Structure 1
Amino acid sequence: MPGYKVHVSGSIVAGALVLLGLANIGLYVIDPQQVVVLFVLCVLGALFPDIDTDSKGKRIYYSGMLLLSLTLIYFDQFQWAAYLGILAMLPGISAHRGWTHTWWAMLMVPMPMLLLPYYVYGQPFPTLLPYYVAFVTGYFSHLLLDREL
């Protein structure tokens, strides 16, 4: 079973391949600032399936979530901080290699990134899709490296 370093590396490779592939066929125009956010989401997606165990990946993941939550609170985005907090607690209610290691979780866990901004702020799906795809790509790389697909 690969450790967090392999999962982080795998997500970066998978993210780069997807990003370059989409840019090559004209479905994505590379924006350097957005690319940083996309790679962070890709790495978080790769770490997410193992946050139900005591691991280095779990500590990195929750450190990132804490930083993001504090940033949201600083900018008076309490509603988003609350959504993030609820989502961050979900893996704690299952056993390792439970629902977090399934293909349907790979698609459903990042779904709030599409639905909440759409329904709460009226953001169009095309502007949100890169973030969803980045998280799913990282998650996919984790499941692939764990041979769970």
Structure 2
Amino acid sequence: MPGYKGHLVGGLFFAIMGMVGCVLFGWIVIDPLQGAALTGFCLLGALFPDVDTDSKGQNIFYAVFAAVDLGMIICRQYVWAAWLGFFAMLPAIDSHRGWTHTWWAMLLVPTPILLVPLMVQGTGAITAFVPFYVAFCTGYFSHLLLDGKFV
């Protein structure tokens, strides 16, 4: 099983290949900022399954969670900050390689990427966030693949 560096490399490979494929098929036009953001989401997805254990990946992921949560608090978005805090605690409920290492978690965990814009801005906002959902799922898939879950 690869460590956090191996999962980051795997996530980066899948991010680049996914974006190249999407551009070649004409599914999406990616500017550099969006490409960097999609890569970031893919890398977070690649790290997420190991947030249930003390690891460097956990430290990186929770540093991002803390920064986003602090931003929400500064912007007085207390309800959203509370929800983020609640969801950030869920991986600690089970043992390592528990629910975070399942195919259904790969699809379910990133759903807030779609649900939050839906709740805030309505149905028209979802289409802009679908690539970010797919990027997170792709990174998550790369983690599960490298851990041998699909062998």
The answer, yes or no, to whether TM exceeds 0.5 is yes
User: CA-atom RMSD, angstroms?
Assistant: 1.3
Partners in 1 of 2:110 and 2:102 — Cα distance? 13
Where in structure 2 are the equivalents of 1:115-130 lying within 5 Å? 115-122=115-122, 123-130=124-131
Q: Distance in 2 between matches of 1:80 and 1:36?
A: 25
Residue aligning to 1:68: 68
Cross-structure match for 1:58: 58
For 2:90, the equivalent position in structure 1 comes to 90
Q: 1:114 maps to which residue?
A: 114
Query: Tell me, which stretches of 5 or more residues in structure 2 are unaligned?
Result: none
1:133 aligns with 2:129: no
How far did 1:116 drift? 2.1
For residues 78 and 21 of structure 1, the distance between their equivalents in structure 2, rounded to whole angstroms, comes to 39
How many angstroms apart in 2 are the aligned matches of 1:70 and 1:119?
21
Aligned pairs for 1:2-81 within 5 A: 2-81=2-81
**Worse overlay, 88-97 or 74-83:** 74-83
Matched length: 149
Instruction: Between 33-42 and 78-87, report the one with greater CA deviation.
Output: 78-87
Deviates more, 1:113-122 or 1:72-81: 72-81
Q: Identity of counterpart residues, as a percentage?
A: 53
Q: What is the CA distance between 1:74 and its match in structure 2? A: 2.5
Secondary structure of 1:53's aligned partner: coil
Question: Shift in Å at residue 117 of structure 1?
Answer: 1.2
